[in-house]
Amino acid sequence: MRGTNRVALSGTLLELGRLRYTPAGVPVIDFRLRHESRRTEAGAERAVSAEFEAIAFEVQANLVSGAAPGSALRLEGFLCAKSRRSKKLVLHATHIEFVEGD
Partner 1 sequence: MKFLRVALDVPLANLFDYTLPPGLSAQAGDRVLVPFGTRRRVGVVVETAAETAIEAERLKPIARVLDDAPRLPRDWLELMRFLAGYYQRPLGETVASSLPPRLRSLRELPRATERHYRAAGSAPGAETLKSGWKRSLLDALGAGCLAEDALLAPFGARRAAARTALRALLRAGWVERALPESGTRFQPSHAPSAAQDAAIERVAQALGQFRPFLLHGVTGSGKTEVYLQLVARVLARGGQALVLVPEISLTPQLEARFRHAFPDTRLALLHSALEDGARTSAWLEAARGEAGIVLGTRLAVLTPLPRLALVVVDEEHDASFKQQEGLRYSGRDAAVYRAKLASCPAVLGTATPSLETWYNCQAGRYALLELPARASPGSVLPRVRTIDLRRESPEQGLAPSLVAAIQARLERGEQSLVFINRRGYAPVLACEACGWTAGCERCSARMVLHAADRRLRCHHCGAESAIARACPTCGNVDLTALGRGTQRVEETLAERFPQARIVRIDRDSARRRAQLAEALAGIRRGEADILVGTQLLAKGHDFPALTLVGVLNADSALVSTDYRAPERLFATLAQVAGRAGRRERPGEVLVQTRYPGHPLYAALARHDYAGFAAAQLAERRAAGFPPYVSEAALGAEAKQLARAMQFLRAAATLVAPPEEVRIYDPVPAILTRRAGLERARLLVQSPSRSALQEFLRAWSERLFAVAPRDVRWHLDVDPIEFD
Cα separation of 49 and 43, whole Å? 19
Contacting partner 1 (CB under 8 A), which of 50, 59, 80, 99? Answer: 80
Contact between 1 and partner 1 per CB under 8 A: no
Decide if residue 50 touches partner 1 (CB under 8 A). Answer: no
93 binds partner 1 (CB under 8 A): no
CB burial of residue 19 (10 Å; 0-12, 13-18, 19+): middle
Nearer of residues 2 and 38 to partner 1, judged by Cβ: 2
Q: Using the rule CB under 8 A, is 25 a contact of partner 1?
A: yes
